[in-house]
Amino acid sequence: MKKLSAFESNSYRNLLLEYGFNQEKIDAKVKQTWEMLFQSDHPDTQIYYSVGNDLGYMLDTGNDDVRTEGMSYGMMMAVQMNEKEIFDRIWNWSMKYMYMEEGENAGYFAWSCAPDGTKNAYGPAPDGEEYFALALFFASHRWGDGEGIYQYSKHAKDLLRDCVHKGKNNDGYPMWNPDNKLIKFVPSVEFSDPSYHIPHFYELFALWSYEEDRTFWKKAAEASRQYIAKAAHPITGLSPEYAFYDGTPNHIRGFGHFFSDSYRVACNIALDYEWFRDNACPVVVNEKLQAFFADKDPEDYRRYNIAGEAFDEKSLHPVGLIATNAMASLSTSGENAKKCVDLFWDTPVRTGDRRYYDNCLYFFSLLALSGNFKIWMPQ
């Protein structure tokens, strides 16, 4: 008998507990990790910073900028942790400095700003928009809608409408290709990033977006599960950072290999399996991925081509890779799954200039493995 999905049962696996870790220690680790990322008395690990009375931002410490990726991640973390003040501070900052009201990208968010709010670019990155949208829906369902920018659900629906329909009136470009339903790397190009594909988000967009958009999102979920499977190497399970619509690596600027963006593919498969258990969810990719890394020393993680050949270049985010390989265990089983979780448990959050991306992936993995990365349904 097929086990019910979390969406069907409202029950979430605590894989850490299943693997023998103590519940009090699990709870303490979640709380402590949140504090290490979001509180100022942990300067070596902090990535969130409050500004004034009502603003806050997530800092990419390696590039000294504020990205929609991190801001939307911070909002998702905050809603999962029931931290409304921090959620609203990040959302306020995003709307004040990142939201674009004119030009071909009106309705989207500028993907990079300086910490003082100055835009570094006027283009969006779709992985930010999709996380913004679901975090806003969850906020609406958990805390209720307010007025203005705190009409969370309206802003989510409006954002998704722009993502799908822009370009129909020569007003820019949509974030998803309207024909194949695949997310683009950026709206103006016709190729993708496998780690942007989050079918479990699209399943929820198909329930909560404007009614005329719901069929699109259901088809996008189906298309993305197929694409994730297609883009991953059939033996290693490794995915490229950029890929064409047929799944083959796109080597523009050297991004056709398994590197930083690619790590998130394992997370997306794992959470899709946990939330929906769709038969098309390509869990075999995560099984192959964990097998590939089973004999590798984390101190020597590298850039790889998707066939598994290592380059001289070391991984920029080895802690992030440890975290995502562990999160993959929500969709796998056996010795490799347990090994990945044990390694993650014994790995501390990262310090230093490169800590931002690693620690975002670390906290998402910790939430998921402890049963705390949840779907917040309408009340």
Which residues are identified as catalytic?
69, 261
Residue 241's nearest CA partner among 264, 261, 266 is: 261
* Paired tokens of 265: 């593919």
* Paired tokens of 228: 């994730």
* Angstrom distances, CA of residue 187 to CA of 123, 182, 288, 306, 339: 9, 11, 31, 25, 39
Query: What one-character-per-residue DSSP string does 222-254 give?
Result: HHHHHHHHHHS-TTT----SSB-TTS-B--GGG
96 CB-contact burial (10 Å; exposed 0-12 / middle 13-18 / buried 19+): middle
* Paired tokens of 103: 């030009």
Distance CA 291, CA 177 (A): 33
Do the beta carbons of residue 5 and residue 275 sit within 8 Å?
yes
* Paired tokens of 331: 């969709």
What is the CB neighbour count within 10 angstroms for residue 70? 24
Amino acid at 84: K
Find the helix or strand (DSSP H, E) in which 314 lies: strand 310-314
Do the beta carbons of residue 175 and residue 197 sit within 8 Å?
no
Residue 256's nearest CA partner among 155, 334, 185, 168 is: 185
What is the CB neighbour count within 10 angstroms for residue 338? 18
